[in-house]
Amino acid sequence: MANSDSNNNTAVNVSEMIAQNKKKKNLSNFTEKSVPVILFLLASITVLTTIGILYTLITEAIHFFMEVPIWDFFTGTELRPLSQNPEFGLLPLLNGTIISSVIAMLVAGPIGLMSAIYLSEYASDRVRRVLKPLLEVLAGIPTIVYGFFAFTFVTPIIRAIWPQVEATNILSPGLVMGVMIIPMIASLSEDAMTSVPNAMREGSLAMGATKLETTFKVVIPAAFSGIIASFVLGISRAIGETMIVTIASGSSKNFTFDITESMQTMTAYIVEVSGGEAAAGTTIYYSLYAVALTLFVFTLIMNLLARYVSRKFREEY
């Protein structure tokens, strides 16, 4: 009797357990089904961000272009947003952006590439393990700190050597921006060069080439697409950089090629105008978005170009 009793007990337990299990299964089925949906919604936030950026920039820029003809905007050499009869020409800003980026790349390009060559081809493991993280510190410093450095340290030094240079000028932020971009170009180019297989280096060295000849005739041609991509990304970074030029280059809207003078970049214009001067709905306010849209398109093209170059011209080994 005791036996059947216990059997009964287990039977009850089993059926209870089955029922419980079913409940649990339903619950876990529910989580199993809802989790991917929730995660999908989270993932779509990034897409919404892109749509948000495009939508706000384009709709507000359209407002602007209804008041200022698009042709006048892109070819105008006068930018006087606050004057009685305002002019909205983009060229002074475009000019400032291009000149500061060129100065930055003249610094960052050669120095970054040569650092990459040293780290990838010449440095011993131990030296590399010290130098590389130190270079990366340079990349981690906030741009506002570089702006402070350019304005309070680099500019006075430049003015001591070259007195014509104004207190705010495009040269000093350009140079400092270049230093900021060095680690980016160095580490991306180094990645490209270290991925060149050793067999190619050894082949060249075995033929009697020196390390320098191997670097320039074998490694760099093989890593060329990656190096170009790193330069393009560096340019994109320079175009989008804001605080250094805002602080150290002032807000003069002159259309000039004189690097001793103050110039405004597209980014610095956005900071100046959005910093409280423009009420929503005015032409000045809408001009923000037209400038930002131009900036966005520029950097997007650069980034797509970098990806295209590194994919299209990559040598596979």
Partner 1 sequence: MDKLESIKSSSKMNARIRKNSIWKSIFFLSTLVGLVVLAILIVRVLGQGLAWLDWDFLTGRLSTSAERAGIMGAILGTVWVMIVVIPVTLIVGVGTAIYLELYAKKGKFQSFIATNISNLAGVPSIVYGLLGLTVFSRLMGLGNAVLAGGLTLALLVLPILIVSAQEALRAVPGYLSEASLAMGATKWQTIRRVVLPAAIPSILTGSILALSRAIGETAPLTVLGIPALLIPFPNGLFDTFTALPMQIYYWTLDSSLVAEYANLAAATIIVLLLLLFILNSVAIFIRNKFQQRY
- Residue 186 binds to partner 1 (criterion: CB under 8 A): yes
Site string for partner 1, 42-61 (x = CB under 8 A): xx-xxx-xx-xx--xx--x-
Site string for partner 1, 55-94 (x = CB under 8 A): -xx--x----------------------------------
Which of the stretches 3-11, 86-94, 132-140, 254-262 binds partner 1 when contact is defined by CB under 8 A?
132-140
Q: How far apart are the first and last CA of the chain?
A: 79
Q: Which residues sit opposite 113 in a β-bridge?
A: none
User: What are the distances in angstroms from CA 305 to CA 74, 266, 301, 312?
Assistant: 23, 21, 6, 10
Q: Which of 194, 195, 242, 252 binds partner 1 (CB under 8 A)?
A: 242
> Rounded to an integer, what distance in angstroms lies between the CA atom of residue 218 and that of residue 21?
66
Closest distance of CB 300 from partner 1, Å:
7
Residues 253-282 touching partner 1, rule: CB under 8 A, are 267, 270-271, 274-276, 280
- Residue 122 binds to partner 1 (criterion: CB under 8 A): yes
Site string for partner 1, 2-31 (x = CB under 8 A): --------------------------x--x
DSSP state of 150: I
Which of the stretches 3-11, 12-20, 80-88, 208-216 binds partner 1 when contact is defined by CB under 8 A?
208-216
Closest distance of CB 121 from partner 1, Å:
8
Q: Which of 93, 119, 188, 235 binds partner 1 (CB under 8 A)?
A: 119
C-alpha closest to that of 254 among 170, 193, 182: 170
Select 73 or 151, whichever has its Cβ closest to partner 1. Answer: 151
- Residue 153 binds to partner 1 (criterion: CB under 8 A): yes
Q: Which residues sit opposite 79 in a β-bridge?
A: 88
Select 163 or 276, whichever has its Cβ closest to partner 1. Answer: 276
Closest distance of CB 48 from partner 1, Å:
9
Which of the stretches 66-74, 108-116, 199-207, 255-263 binds partner 1 when contact is defined by CB under 8 A?
108-116
Select 111 or 158, whichever has its Cβ closest to partner 1. Answer: 111
Count of C-beta atoms within a 10 Å radius of residue 282: 14
- Residue 182 binds to partner 1 (criterion: CB under 8 A): yes
Q: Dihedral of the CA atoms 178, 89, 252, 232 (nearest 10)?
A: 0
Q: Which residues sit opposite 88 in a β-bridge?
A: 79
> Rounded to an integer, what distance in angstroms lies between the CA atom of residue 222 and that of residue 243?
36
Q: Which of 72, 78, 86, 143 binds partner 1 (CB under 8 A)?
A: 143
Pairing of strands 79-80, 87-88: antiparallel
C-alpha closest to that of 191 among 101, 310, 313: 310
What 3-state class would DSSP assign to 80? Answer: strand
Count of C-beta atoms within a 10 Å radius of residue 76: 18
- For tokens 């989008």, the residue is 240
Select 55 or 74, whichever has its Cβ closest to partner 1. Answer: 55
Q: Which of 75, 212, 257, 311 binds partner 1 (CB under 8 A)?
A: 212
Query: How is residue 131 written in tokens?
Result: 């130098």
Which of the stretches 73-81, 86-94, 107-115, 199-207 binds partner 1 when contact is defined by CB under 8 A?
107-115
Count of C-beta atoms within a 10 Å radius of residue 103: 21
C-alpha closest to that of 183 among 145, 132, 223: 132
